[in-house]
Amino acid sequence: MLTNNSIQVGDKAPNFSAVAVYEQEFEEVKLSDYLGKYLILLFYPLDFTFVCPTEITAFSDAYDQICSLDTEILGISVDSEYCHLAWMQLDRQSGGVGNLRYPLVSDLTKAISMSYNVLNNEGKSLRGLFIIDKQGIVQHMLVNNLDFGRSIDETLRTLKAIQYVQNNPDEVCPANWQPGQSTIKNNPTKAKEYFQSI
């Protein structure tokens, strides 16, 4: 079901409005509500599966780190809000996710997954991760197949790199860059300073 109208980095993130579950309550969320903050969209295949709870809980456990970077998270799957609620009411030891620090969005119509081009031919969301900046522009996208999870550490590293270059537009971040490490001046002459130092 992947569409030909693929979203790309640098595009405006497709807006949506949907029901989510947060703190055991149903609430409507809109992508536009998050303008002015960074946002991680975390698509995943289905509730009550095997890899999914490891990712969903890992991002919840890292919420304080993520929030400290002026960033919020939305988890999204094609399950109903009632399924999300039941999954949250089940403890982690039993395959549930327990109380999460961020909302889980119901994409029962599959419209959100289609607009982000992560809906597969079985009608499940692939493991899509999108980092959207304060202006609503997609700065990073990563899509894994169903059977392997994503890295919190790499997500945090990428988020910090995005924020660094947006705050320092004359610099770019080299491979494996971490905060505090050298960057490259976005200039043919000044860039040599970096390459001569490694």
Which tokens belong to 181? Answer: 């490490």
Which tokens belong to 147? Answer: 């059977």
Q: Which of 52, 67, 83, 173 is catalytic?
A: 52
Cβ pair 22, 103 in contact under 8 A = yes
Question: What is the C-alpha separation between 66 and 60, in angstroms, rounded?
Answer: 9
In DSSP terms, 153 is beta-bridged to: none
Active site residue 67: no
Question: What is the C-alpha separation between 138 and 131, in angstroms, rounded?
Answer: 6
Which tokens belong to 67? Answer: 């929030």
Cβ pair 107, 81 in contact under 8 A = no
Active-site positions read 52
